[in-house]
Amino acid sequence: MPEPTFLSRLTGSFATSAAQNPTVAIMEAAFVDAGLDCRYINCEVGPDRLEAAVRGAVGMGWMGFNCSIPHKVAVLSYLDELAPSAQIIGAVNTVVISGGRLIGENTDGQGFVASLRTVADPTGLDVVVLGAGGAARAIAVETALAGARSITIVNRTAERGEALARLIGERTPATGTYAPWTPRFGIDPSTGVVINATSIGFHPDTGSTPDVDMTTLQPGMVVADVVANPPRTRFLQEADDRGCVTLEGLGMLVNQALIAVRLWTGEDVSGDVMRAVLEDLFSA
């Protein structure tokens, strides 16, 4: 019989505020289900304590950690290396600690693409991304790297929208275009995928939808939402009514967590376990 050990492998998250972050619940459930002696520690870390938290994780031998708002860009100052897509995105949400070196990854966009591939191959598709914030940036870059033909960034602030479209055009194989977000924005009928990459519709504001002319959505279009709570947003419900193929934000949330676990441990854990925990949490 192997000798018992009382030293768990550690991971966690640095964010503020951390209290509403459900990642700890899904990570710990997946670790238990997989029989992995790992723990995920949810930490409230303000901007003035980020450096200390990063150094502490290294000092305590953590496998790595997640970074959420407001640290996804600030943490770059403390890293030794960036994964290729994280370099393009310019932000990190997952850090791997290996041999004392800190390697930055961005699993948000990778998680979205993994979810998208359950309903459509992005290769050659024309994609519309609503928003130009952090989630939109990661999703746009990774979808472009996954083979999309074009990415149209729809945003009210021209400066941010144009900057992201320019990044897509210069750093990925896809064409990047900016479109001003005018009232009742119309979706071009050739569009393959429409993605709400904003927080519109997030609990408790569940009655809100992105300002899109829903009559311009075509049957068979993939319509995705990054909002995970509620999983079935009003935007997705209305798209479903028009015959679209809909993709919930839960898939992106689960997949980015699965990728992070694989980066830290080299192991695959159960996405079904993670999703069940989230569904229970969000239905409460």
Q: How far, in Å, CA of 67 to CA of 45, rounded?
A: 10
Q: How far, in Å, CA of 56 to CA of 70, rounded?
A: 19
Q: How far, in Å, CA of 59 to CA of 265, rounded?
A: 18
Place of tokens 């419900």: 237
Within the chain, what is the greatest distance between any pair of CA atoms? 67
- Strands (E) across 45-158 are located at 64-67, 81-82, 94-98, 101-105, 126-130, 150-155
Structure tokens at 49: 């304590």
Confirm if 126 and 148 have CB atoms less than 8 A apart: yes
Cross-strand bridge partners of residue 245: 222
Among the listed residues 72, 137, 171, 234, the single catalytic one is 72
Confirm if 45 and 99 have CB atoms less than 8 A apart: no
Q: Sheet of 150-155: strands edge to edge?
A: 175-180, 150-155, 126-130, 193-196, 222-225, 245-247
Instruction: Tell me whether residue 282 is exposed, middle or buried, using C-beta atoms within 10 angstroms of its C-beta: 0 to 12, 13 to 18, 19 or more.
Output: middle
Q: How far, in Å, CA of 240 to CA of 271, rounded?
A: 24
Verify whether residue 65 is a known catalytic residue. Answer: no
Catalytic residues: 72
